[in-house]
Structure 1
Amino acid sequence: MAVDPAALDPAVLLAGPRGRRLCLEWARTWSQNDDERLSSAIFYAAHNLDPGRGVSRVLFSVGTDGSDRDADHGSKPPAPGDVARLLADASLTEPGGPAVMSALAAAVGNARYWQPPDGEDVLAAAPEMRAALARVAHLLAGSPQASWWTTPAGGPARDAEQWSVEFAGTTVDGELVRNAAEILELSRVGRVEEEALAERDWPADPRASFSGPWWSKPPSALTRTTRALAGVGPAGLALVEDALGWEAATVHRIRPPRDTRVYEIDGPDAWAHLCRRYPVRVTAARRQVWYQTTGRIGLWVMPDWAGVAQDVDAVHLTVAGYLATAGRTIQVDGDVASVLAGWDPDQTYWLTDVDHDHSTDQVWHRGESEWARATDA
């Protein structure tokens, strides 16, 4: 049987923290319906492994006298090995329906690059979990719902639809609208000033308790788009890092220029190439936050997006590229490394000006678990 060159390699889902979290989230979703023991074990093991246990993450139980009691002092919680054994013995079904998208959205929504990984991420990264999660990765990689995770911007055809998402309340009336070149140049100047300030005034110790900028994506003021998915709508509605609970959004199509040059970030090597060819130093400004998320001490860089714009019109992050790359240390050269942070999966950043087709405007609202297009009265 011929092998599809675009098929998703299950190993990709185990390579990075977001991919491992996806596998854990799908196992949790499945087990909530089919094996409550596994769901419960995941919950308590993750709680016990969370760096905020007892402080920002606390469990309480109700005693026989009706009083609240700190559940952290109860019976011994399950360890990663216990969860792995339950998962290995589970009769997993083929992934299907909305469960895959729900698990993917949870993996994306729980990403954080400014503090240590949460308990679920620690659990998913435990060596004891690898073989059990590999079962899940194999099932997910072969799922029809994952068939688009390796495809380039909009799909195989460059003229496929791309949709911009604007969440309610994120645009300020009278906000100055700039062209892409201005946005990129302002961002470049700001990055240089930010690094100079950090070198002068911020702590030099990566372990210091200090927060600063953590993202490495292009400027948010640029046009950003994702594809639309049948029955789901634009992927940019559901697949959002650090979301703020938006319940409404307006979406519309954009019209890319002809012969658009799109750089595809399909994995760690593609990100490392960008950082190697267009490096900008960010060690002083990100040494604390990226130490928190990776545990690494060393030199840090990210791409100079104004420089990238000299050679391409847009940069697209595939879902597979996101799952394998985001949130981990990506070696660039020698003692220089980078972190892909703050970039949603399937999102394309346009480094040039594009036409917005507002005749295609649609209003979407978030329900209990998914987004739906508003119907005309």
Structure 2
Amino acid sequence: MRTADAATVDLLLAGPRGRTVCWEVVADAVPAARAAVRAAAADPAGTRHVVDALRSAGDVAPTPADVSRALDLAVAGVRYWQPPDEQDAVLADPRVVAALEPVARAVLAAPSTGWWSQPCTTAAQVLTAYDDAAPARGEGVLAALDAWRARVVAEEREAGGRRRPVSGSWWSTPASAGLTRTTRRLPDGTAPGFDLVEDGDGWDVVTAYAVDVPAGARVLELTGPEDVAALVADHPLEVTASRQRDWYEATGRSGRWLVPDHRAIADAYDGVHVTVLAWAAAAGRALPVGEGTATVLAGWDPDATYWYADDVTICTPGRRWCRDDARWRRDVAR
């Protein structure tokens, strides 16, 4: 069995999504746990009961199904346009974080999480299309990113002219640029992109396309919050006016906000990949960038790579999958 070092355990527990993964792995096994969280949300003095419930769980040995379900729920729980929910607030208490450490260690030791810290597997990337829609192909990438940056700048200018900030764009990805977005192929033929989609629609039908990534593609790996902040520091684009309402609600921070300038990134890299552990540690947090600025990793799904090059192409016909009792099965009829 693999073992997890202290730094990796700390990384998983650093962010609200990582703590949610650990919580969901253990909570159903401890009948008093969920009730204790609800009570602690109303009265912080009850946090000790959450700690007691977690300590009563003993050794945890999560199955692949346990881990998959917990990660699904952590992704489904993102809300970058409103305050953290009561559970997130309770799980952020340092005493609860300490009580979750054995769970985090067990999660990271599980064979089914071995890929969570692995870099982009360029030889086995999958583009996922949803509900029989045509696949999004990143063509004319630089022109698309020029248009994306122009929209962000215009949106920021418009938002800056309002008396009050309004809710609007909350993501920090180039989601509207139409870039190719892929995740790795898993041993069972599925891909994280089937389920692990922030603010997704819970699709029951997906089509998976194998993608050809040219040899020598320059992929930047984001392995933790520091990498996310460094990417923004190297390629900053200010979005304070257009993001402040949503990101203040989500993080409680007021100040200047930045996102990565994805057009500038395209001059240096062919793709940017976020590991599952980086997502778990960074997503939804106010990450300091420097000189009173910060960013939020929002809308970037676990294990997703955004491609900034035209020569990343679909190389096989799509394979259709259908969800059956929470499991994905190949559609043999098509």
Q: What fraction of aligned residue pairs are identical, expressed as a percent?
A: 37
Query: Structure 1: how far apart are the matches of 2:236 and 2:137?
Result: 29
Match of 1:87 among 38, 43, 54: 54
1:25-80 CA-to-partner distances (Å, cap 9, x unmatched) read: 11124x1xxx32334434x347x45xxxxxxxxxxxxxxxxxxxxxxxxxx99932
Q: Size of the alignment, in residue pairs?
A: 331
Q: Equivalences for 1:101-120 in 2 at 5 Å?
A: 101-120=68-87
Q: Equivalences for 1:329-348 in 2 at 5 Å?
A: 329-348=286-305
- Aligned residues of 2:212 and 2:314 also touching (Cα < 8 A): yes
Q: Equivalences for 1:198-237 in 2 at 5 Å?
A: 198-201=159-162, 203=164, 210-220=166-176, 221-231=178-188, 233-237=190-194
Query: Structure 2: how far apart are the matches of 1:371 and 1:277?
Result: 40
2:277 is paired with a residue of what secondary structure? helix
Pair 1:327–1:4, CA change in 2 (3 A): closer
Match of 2:246 among 279, 289, 294: 289
Aligned to 1:357: 315
Pair 1:171–1:199, CA change in 2 (3 A): farther
Query: Structure 2: how far apart are the matches of 1:277 and 1:212?
Result: 25
Larger radius of gyration: 1
Aligned to 1:22: 21
Q: Does 1:299 align with 2:261?
A: no
Q: Does 1:96 align with 2:63?
A: yes
1:289 is paired with a residue of what secondary structure? helix
Pair 1:104–1:4, CA change in 2 (3 A): closer
Larger helix fraction of residues? 2
2:198 is paired with a residue of what secondary structure? coil
Q: Does 1:186 align with 2:117?
A: no
- Aligned residues of 1:251 and 1:363 also touching (Cα < 8 A): yes
C-alpha RMSD of the superposition: 2.5
Q: Equivalences for 1:163-182 in 2 at 5 Å?
A: 163-168=126-131, 171=134, 178-182=139-143
Pair 1:333–1:78, CA change in 2 (3 A): closer
Question: Amino acid of the residue matched to residue 115 of structure 1?
Answer: Q
- Aligned residues of 1:165 and 1:251 also touching (Cα < 8 A): yes
Pair 1:275–1:99, CA change in 2 (3 A): same
- Aligned residues of 2:33 and 2:50 also touching (Cα < 8 A): yes
2:161 is paired with a residue of what secondary structure? helix
Q: Equivalences for 1:203-282 in 2 at 5 Å?
A: 203=164, 210-220=166-176, 221-231=178-188, 233-282=190-239
Query: Structure 2: how far apart are the matches of 1:146 and 1:99?
Result: 11
Query: Structure 1: how far apart are the matches of 2:193 and 2:275?
Result: 13
- Aligned residues of 1:236 and 1:347 also touching (Cα < 8 A): yes
- Aligned residues of 1:282 and 1:300 also touching (Cα < 8 A): yes
Question: Amino acid of the residue matched to residue 116 of structure 1?
Answer: P
- Aligned residues of 1:8 and 1:320 also touching (Cα < 8 A): no
Query: Structure 1: how far apart are the matches of 2:161 and 2:195?
Result: 40
TM-score by length of 2: 0.92
CA drift at 1:104 = 0.8
TM-score by length of 1: 0.82
Query: Structure 2: how far apart are the matches of 1:232 and 1:21?
Result: 26
Aligned to 1:12: 11
Query: Structure 1: how far apart are the matches of 2:118 and 2:3?
Result: 15
CA drift at 1:94 = 1.4
CA drift at 1:149 = 0.8
Aligned to 2:105: 138
Q: Does 1:38 align with 2:33?
A: yes
